[in-house]
Structure 1
């Protein structure tokens, strides 16, 4: 019966076949002759470090990672995990993308569940070092092996995966939100803040207004509770309030919670209720502990309040501030897409012509399709939908159908079933104006969307 090769037997075979002695190989590898000898000949043999393994590999002319499959046993001498060897080995596996080695190490390591906390700490180190995607298998390992369902470690791992996996696919983002939501309340408060903001944004992108308001209200309540506690502590200590250890300034969460509530009410045509909320974030200069970033956020929210006040006036039929709104958009380029989207919605509801405004912003409109940010893409999809309705309202049927087809293709790319369905309905409404070529294009988009969702039209 043949024995499986070990890392030492493999190295010894290579040395013999090439005629190397310990002395001669020491010179080309840079490993001390005595050290090299004890790694192969002493009883028990001296452990081989990851660095030494890489030096041996390089000296023998093999690609990086040549001995990694065999090195796994070196990490588990006598069946016990040795973290001082495992950690540097995992780091090298991360650098080289050796996912199969990572999985094998984690599988053996978690035979002893006391190592789950160590794996979690390693994942957090990778995350803090900017290697979020590389940390995924380690967070997944924690989730699979954590014994205590209510542990903070498990909740943070679920939160990290939720954030890392968010992308441009609106439906997938919703699935991730639903999977993560049971762990929300087990997170440290600093993480809850950003999780709630992310969840509110995702629900808003899918026009789920009641869920958006629920998350926004919960975010507002949490922010107020944290803020009031910190201000009370500050009054006791007679010191300036320190920045909170969250991803963003506290005033960001406070302001965004109010802004999203107002937006959701606006979308439900509850304009007077929305106006009341807008007034609450129009001036947040009273907020204590504002750093430079926080002060900039207060100014930004002030601008949003002014803009949204104009929008609500337009929606109830008051056009007296229309030009002021246009000028405000021109001064804030990032607000042009949502701003024109709003103007299209108003024009479609109230049947007034905004051709001159669309022409005024035509240069910006051409750039909209180049931005692939998930939330931006949602605005762009809805922009195309409203633009098509506007074009149909003014009898520009060819342009309207082309815009709808463009939007169906975009909805397919980002898997937004809501926009896709609305666009299909709009096409069907004006199908008598479509050419054979446009019908053929629609068929192709339907097939592509059906493949993504595994159903046929």
Structure 2
């Protein structure tokens, strides 16, 4: 076999160039002299393992994937795939970023579609180990080659690919959502619940309230059905097996109500939201709660209290501000969404909140920091977007009350965050606000604004079709 001989020829050539004997090179690599000899001179030659290849490469001081192209045929020694070599080789290729060799091996494997379950199992193994990015090529392989278009395996692959692709870039998140949505109803219940919650949250960050309503409704309905089934199954103590989900079941049930209510609030349907707040205000009746579930029920109680105060303030009830401020002092995690509500309401109804902004001045300085994001029970993308929204509302408040320098300061902070998460619509809105008050900006603020715009231009060039094509080429 020509390529098998080639990998051995490469090793033999380097042995001669380095003046090695089998004995001296065995010492350099830590490989037994007899095993090394059998790899090169055996009849037939002993197959080379991935670990042995890596030790040989390291001893020759070459880049770690030096022999990887030649090793592809070693995976198909005697013409058949040998999983003891194929699996570790694929994992190593992904780890070192050699996707070319991954594609070569997968292409050979897909000559027989009976290998799809094995590829899927590898993807699942990597995913369970937390290696989401490493699992992507294998889920993609399943998606491209699965012959049964309504199979659960295909739907799970689309879901896992969707999860792996979600990040802080709003535009890319939306692209991932649109690719995944057609497969959501083909998932098993545990993944289906997770998927609907993620979809509703992503659309919430995108401020697409009708879509939030749609997936919150689906989530609430599915969680209700699953809960009833779980209660029924639990009656048979000996055969009961709990449904394994990413979050406690009560989370999906409560979030279905919470997200629906918040979407209604954002559209101005305040009375309708009250009905949904009642749906998650007290979930202590939920059966099967463990310690984590009890903690989640407490979170929903706090959120319900916060959102009831939100509604009062949004509708212009200034008398509730003192109570709301005291609530925020006792619940630091709610300061960010709470201040957003207070400031937005102040801009709408025209009341003053300078004293409230002063009370939370320190929190405003750190609210978007990495420490705050890490310690919050809210997702980082939601926090960054909420920070940007809050800063924008504070800027508007400052402009209304002629505090132009402070307003421009907050607009710049908002621009940075919107750029970070690639929220183009909100970024454009903030840019327009800055331009309206540009004449009031200081030299330092103008320089800061210019730096942001330079980053925008640089990013646009790097992500232009011509630039991407050049990189791929």
Report the TM-score when normalising by structure 1.
0.90
The match for 2:321 is: 322
Does the CA-based 8 Å contact 2:368-2:383 persist in structure 1? no
Measured against aligned partners, the alpha-carbon deviations of 1:164-206 in whole angstroms (never above 9, x if no partner) come to: 1111111221121111111111111111111111111111112
Which segment drifts farther, 438-447 or 408-417?
Answer: 438-447
The change in CA–CA distance for 1:24 and 1:398 in structure 2 (over 3 A counts) is: closer
Which segment drifts farther, 211-220 or 167-176?
Answer: 167-176
Distance 1:303 1:450 in 2: 43
The change in CA–CA distance for 1:399 and 1:51 in structure 2 (over 3 A counts) is: closer
1:337 paired with 2:344, answer: no
1:264 paired with 2:235, answer: no
1:398 paired with 2:444, answer: no
Distance 1:277 1:242 in 2: 31
Distance 1:72 1:6 in 2: 11
Distance 1:3 1:118 in 2: 25
The match for 1:114 is: 114
Distance 1:263 1:391 in 2: 26
Which segment drifts farther, 418-427 or 328-337?
Answer: 418-427
Matches within 5 A, 1:156-175: 156-175=156-175
How far did residue 344 of structure 1 move?
0.3
1:228 paired with 2:221, answer: no
Distance 1:205 1:81 in 2: 46
The match for 1:84 is: 84
Distance 2:440 2:23 in 1: 85
Matches within 5 A, 1:262-301: 262-301=261-300
The match for 2:66 is: 66
Secondary structure in 2 aligned to 1:369? coil
The match for 2:126 is: 126
How far did residue 93 of structure 1 move?
2.6
Distance 2:98 2:459 in 1: 30
Structure 2 stretches of 5 or more lacking a match?
Answer: 374-379, 465-473
Distance 1:3 1:289 in 2: 59
Which segment drifts farther, 158-167 or 295-304?
Answer: 158-167
1:199 paired with 2:199, answer: yes
User: Number of residues paired by the alignment?
Assistant: 454
Does the CA-based 8 Å contact 2:4-2:73 persist in structure 1? no
How far did residue 432 of structure 1 move?
6.1
Secondary structure in 2 aligned to 1:6? helix
1:416 paired with 2:423, answer: yes
Which segment drifts farther, 21-30 or 172-181?
Answer: 21-30
Secondary structure in 1 aligned to 2:318? coil
Distance 1:177 1:298 in 2: 29
Report the TM-score when normalising by structure 2.
0.87
The change in CA–CA distance for 1:4 and 1:429 in structure 2 (over 3 A counts) is: same
CA RMSD of aligned residues (A): 2.8
Does the CA-based 8 Å contact 2:4-2:70 persist in structure 1? no
Distance 1:283 1:301 in 2: 8
Structure 1 stretches of 5 or more lacking a match?
Answer: none
Distance 1:403 1:28 in 2: 61
How far did residue 88 of structure 1 move?
1.9
Secondary structure in 2 aligned to 1:156? helix
The match for 1:362 is: 361
How far did residue 403 of structure 1 move?
2.5
How far did residue 147 of structure 1 move?
2.3
Does the CA-based 8 Å contact 2:281-2:300 persist in structure 1? yes
Distance 1:3 1:423 in 2: 59
Measured against aligned partners, the alpha-carbon deviations of 1:354-388 in whole angstroms (never above 9, x if no partner) come to: 11110000001001232472211110111111111
Does the CA-based 8 Å contact 1:314-1:322 persist in structure 2? yes
The change in CA–CA distance for 1:53 and 1:444 in structure 2 (over 3 A counts) is: closer
Distance 1:128 1:140 in 2: 17
1:387 paired with 2:386, answer: no
